[in-house]
A and B are shown apart, each in its own frame.
Chain A
Amino acid sequence: MKDNNEIEELLRAKGEKHREIPVPENLETRLHNALEERGVPRKKRQGNRFFKAVAMLLITIIIGYNFNTLAYYGKRIIGYDNIMNTALKELNNLGKGQIIDMSHTFEDGSSVTLDAVMIDENQMLIFYTIKDPKGAAADLNLRADHFVKGLGRRYVAKHGQGEISEDGTEIRWVSSYAPPGFWDRSLSLKFFLQEDGHSEETEMVFKIDREKAMGATLKKSLNIAIKQKETKVQFNTISASPTNTVIEGKLQNTLELLKDHIMGERLRPKAIEFSLIANGEVLRQQAGGMSTNEKGISFRWEFDALPKDLKSLALQIDSVTVDHDVDVSLSIDETTKEKTLEILGQNIVINQLYKEEGATHITISSQEDVLLSRVYLMVDGKRVSLKNTTMEDHIKTESGEIFFTRTLNFPEEGEEYQFIIKSISFMEKYNETIDILID
């Protein structure tokens, strides 16, 4: 019969995980959407609404005017040289970017300009500039919305890169959004400025020039699956467009639940390291993301665009980081010095334990990829959670190995200590290269 303590311990362990459930990235967008779609606007003061209407009208007029002139005369996007990679620069030189050039000045004198967009099969790049005449553009809480709105659909922002000018008056941003559907001719993007007790927004509506939109250059399913002892990596698709290259796949563990349980350890893959090599050169990674569901972990990595004269293409898989549940309990105190602990073949050195102003600090070293992902300290029978980790340093040992030293800080002090390790993560090496056939 399980006793109460055992059940409570189980519940607590479950709770610890529960409170760390990853919050979905699109939650914020979901909340915004709910307010936009279902939120019944409360009565506002009439004056306010009137002012808004006038402001909107003014913007629309300015847009209409600028759109025509600039689209005709200025074909290249100017001022983004440093944050455009080679492929983007080339596309820009070919006039593939669409100049928008719409601006809005906020009450405090700061402004935003939607300079241009560039659209292809994989993404929609939005080029915009934030200006602050006071020279503190980086401190300004002025940002583009998380999505671009189309006809009944929203295109979510994925990532972006900005460059601050030397005098701090300007930031140039290139943000990547999901590509708009072919039916969307007109899109709108909002910008928000938030300051103490004050917030302002502006919406810019622009037409898409479909003639400038670009398709895919290479799109194929990969069906590559490779296995190591504990994990399996599956590459599903590659989709290359003129602006980037997207690789999607899955991570799984190779052990079934039952076997997992018999072995008394549970493991789950957490991260993957791989490169995409085109014509013998490693392509720069632009972004990467993972999502978890019941079936496993999906990843989506974005790289620079493929070279035009593509001769060879390969995937180099370096490693997969795996998290293992363990149950290690170690009595330690201030006399503990350089004690080595072996967990699942990984060496962890407890360098020392010291107390300071009501807190206890434990310094440990391990190989760089080894991480104690869930630890706590029993202080005189009381369970104390890890507060943070500090003082990180790399040390080369006599045998030439690089060790990573850090200090775990626990916010309580006592006499008797039990160091408890509940899970540990480290890399499973793959070091495999797989050629992708180009037809």
Chain B
Amino acid sequence: MDIEKRVKEAKQGNKEVLVSLIMDKKQEYYSLAYAYMKNQEDAMDAMADMIVILYEGLHQLKKETSFYSWSKTILVNCCKKQLKRKKRLINFNNVEEATSGGLGLVEEQLLLERHLSSLSTDHQEIIKLRYYLDFDYNTIAELLKIPVGTVKSRLSIGLRKLKESYGGDFNEG
């Protein structure tokens, strides 16, 4: 069944179809949520928040074909909201270093993560969307609702900052 038809059905309140629409692209959604939340539980929580909002707001979506870009923007907003909430709640516990898939991540990439987390959230976000999720400029612009030009400049500044951050660690090579 094509997406348009299924989205229409989800609009009618069919929860099964709504969940199946998300599950069809579960890797994309989950990777996106994980980029923000950095752990499995929180990534799933963000997706749970998202699906409730989708269910309640689906009738406002005018173009069925934009379901995926629309819902991903909502997911990003859910992640940001959760992160804000977490910031308020957790301040005694050091947030654990992100692990990709649990074990694969060591040394150099831990270091990368550390440098990355020294950047502002905007710069971290743009770098992750570009490199971790392999989104192009237009997709990022659409997702964050900012102009393509801003995406480009923010990314290049982010990369420069990341390089500067590395500068202190690597003096040779």
Which A residues are within 8 Å of any B CB, using their own CB?
Answer: 1-4, 7-8, 10-15, 17-24, 26-28, 30-36, 38-42, 44, 192, 194, 196-197, 199, 201, 253, 257, 260-261, 266, 268, 292-294, 296-297, 325
| Contact residue among A2, A260, A261, A292 (Cβ-Cβ distance under 8 Å from B101) | A292
Q: Is the CB of A15 within 8 A of B26?
A: no
Chain B residue at minimal CB-CB distance from A293:
B102
Q: Is the CB of B134 within 8 A of A19?
A: yes
Known: A12-B131, A199-B17. A257 touches B48 (CB 8 A): no
Chain A residue at minimal CB-CB distance from B99:
A294
Question: Is B77 on the interface with A (CB-CB < 8 A)?
Answer: no
A-B contact pairs, 17 of them (CB 8 A): A1-B170, A1-B171, A2-B166, A2-B170, A8-B131, A11-B132, A17-B105, A19-B134, A27-B44, A32-B15, A39-B52, A40-B56, A196-B1, A292-B101, A293-B102, A294-B99, A294-B102
Q: Give me the 5 closest cross-chain CB pairs, A-B, nearest first.
A: A34-B48, A292-B102, A11-B131, A18-B132, A268-B103
A10 to B165: give the CA distance in the assembly, Å.
14
Q: Is the CB of B9 within 8 A of A34?
A: no
One of B62-70, B82-90, B107-115, B146-154 contacting the partner: B107-115
Question: Is B137 on the interface with A (CB-CB < 8 A)?
Answer: no
How many A-B contacts if CB must be within 8 Å?
151
Q: Is the CB of A42 within 8 A of B132?
A: no
Q: Is the CB of A199 within 8 A of B16?
A: yes
Q: Is the CB of B132 within 8 A of A27?
A: no
A22 to B5: give the CA distance in the assembly, Å.
29
Known: A42-B13, A197-B9. A28 touches B31 (CB 8 A): no
Q: Is the CB of A35 within 8 A of B15?
A: yes
**Minimum Cβ distance to chain A for residue B112 (Å):** 5
Q: Is the CB of B34 within 8 A of A21?
A: yes
Question: Is B76 on the interface with A (CB-CB < 8 A)?
Answer: no
**Minimum Cβ distance to chain B for residue A147 (Å):** 13
Number of B positions contacting A (CB below 8 A): 54
List of B residues within 8 angstroms of A38 by Cβ: 48, 52
Q: Is the CB of A4 within 8 A of B52?
A: no
Known: A30-B48, A31-B22, A35-B15. A11 touches B127 (CB 8 A): yes
List of A residues within 8 angstroms of B40 by Cβ: 24, 293
Question: Is B157 on the interface with A (CB-CB < 8 A)?
Answer: no
Binding site secondary structure of chain A = mixed
Q: Is the CB of A34 within 8 A of B52?
A: yes
**Minimum Cβ distance to chain A for residue B129 (Å):** 10
18 new A-B contacts, CB < 8 A, other than A24-B30, A27-B26, A194-B17, are: A1-B170, A2-B166, A13-B109, A17-B105, A19-B31, A19-B133, A20-B101, A27-B47, A30-B44, A31-B47, A32-B15, A35-B19, A35-B55, A36-B15, A40-B56, A260-B107, A261-B107, A297-B103
Chain B residue at minimal CB-CB distance from A262:
B107
Q: Is the CB of B100 within 8 A of A42?
A: no
List of A residues within 8 angstroms of B55 by Cβ: 35, 39, 42
Question: Is B23 on the interface with A (CB-CB < 8 A)?
Answer: yes
List of B residues within 8 angstroms of A2 by Cβ: 163, 166-167, 170, 173
Q: Is the CB of B159 within 8 A of A8?
A: yes
List of B residues within 8 angstroms of A4 by Cβ: 159, 163
**Minimum Cβ distance to chain A for residue B44 (Å):** 5
List of B residues within 8 angstroms of A257 by Cβ: 106-107
Cβ contacts B1-17/A at 8 Å (1 or 0 each): 10001000100011111
Q: Is the CB of A17 within 8 A of B17?
A: no
A291 to B55: give the CA distance in the assembly, Å.
30
List of A residues within 8 angstroms of B44 by Cβ: 24, 26-27, 30
